[in-house]
Amino acid sequence: MIRNYIIALIFIGVSACGSVKNTDSVTEGNTLPDPTTMHYEMQKRGIDFYAKDADNKWQLEIDYQKTVKFSADDLKKDFSVNILTLGNGLKGSEATHVVRNRDAQLTITITTSETPFDVNGGGAYEVSLVYHDFRTSQETEYNGKGKFYGAIQLHDIWKLATINGAGFDTTHLHKHPYMEIHLDNGRVMGFLGCNSFSTSVYFGRDEMTFGMTMSTKMACPRMDIEDKFGSLISNNTLSYRLEGLNLYLENETDTLKFKKVD
């Protein structure tokens, strides 16, 4: 009995140690939470955009490389279209898509909400749908809110590597600049170089939109790196791309390169 108890304690200790991620002391022992089940399941299925109404009477799923699926309580069957070029050539997240199959045509209009950072609003985007039934010639309109899912790889800790292609001296910094992206609650937090920060974030098709950055107010000998990093992510929209273990955040004039913390 005692032997079994000791074995169980050893197993628990080994499991706990194995679950702690090595962050090179970037987060002082803190680790990111797992994404919520909904985030993970949607991204595992390849869903890029999801929308619904407040009463859950309809829902829309878009895989921008493959499928549009719409279901509603008042439809006899789900509307589904396999399309490999949905939105091809469109820039940004605000767009109108028109897709059809042999039964109906669905017009999807996506616009940014007036309160995109309202976490209780159901999503950062307003969604208007017009369903045109070919058999009855009847049109039905649906309205709700939706959200884009950032790539699952973003949910991690990222060290700032370069600004506009140039490295930087870290000897005058309190800690190397980094950020933690939390897909599960739409938050980003980290360190600018002298001060810690946090902000809200929501995602577009290939963009990240940051809210106003809140940071501590410590004085430092040099603030150039902190000021540049902070100004680029505060209350701004940046396109993002992932290349291996590197993350790039860009606008028309600036590029931030980050490396994933292993």
What pLDDT is attached to residue 90? 76
**Strands (E) located in the chain:** 49-52, 58-62, 67-72, 79-82, 95-100, 104-112, 125-133, 139-148, 157-163, 178-182, 187-191, 196-203, 207-210, 214-215, 237-243, 246-250, 255-260
- For the cut 90, the answer to whether the pLDDT of residue 22 exceeds it is no
pLDDT tens digits for range 94-132: 999 999 999 999 999 999 999 999 866 679 999 999 999
Q: How many helices (H) and strands (E) does the chain have?
A: 3, 17
pLDDT tens digits for range 142-155: 999 999 999 999 99
Concatenated DSSP letters of 57-73: SEEEEE-TTSEEEEEET
Mean pLDDT of 50-59: 96
Share of the chain above pLDDT 70, in %: 85
What pLDDT is attached to residue 34? 67
pLDDT band at 221 (very low <50, low <70, confident <90, very high): confident
- For the cut 50, the answer to whether the pLDDT of residue 7 exceeds it is no
The four Cα atoms 91, 92, 94, 97 give a dihedral, to 10 degrees, of: 40
In order of their start, the domains of the chain are 22-28+151-260 (2.40.128.270), 48-148 (no CATH)
pTM for the whole thing? 0.82
Q: In sequence order, what are the beta bridge partners of 96?
A: 109
129 close to 108: Cβ distance less than 8 angstroms: yes
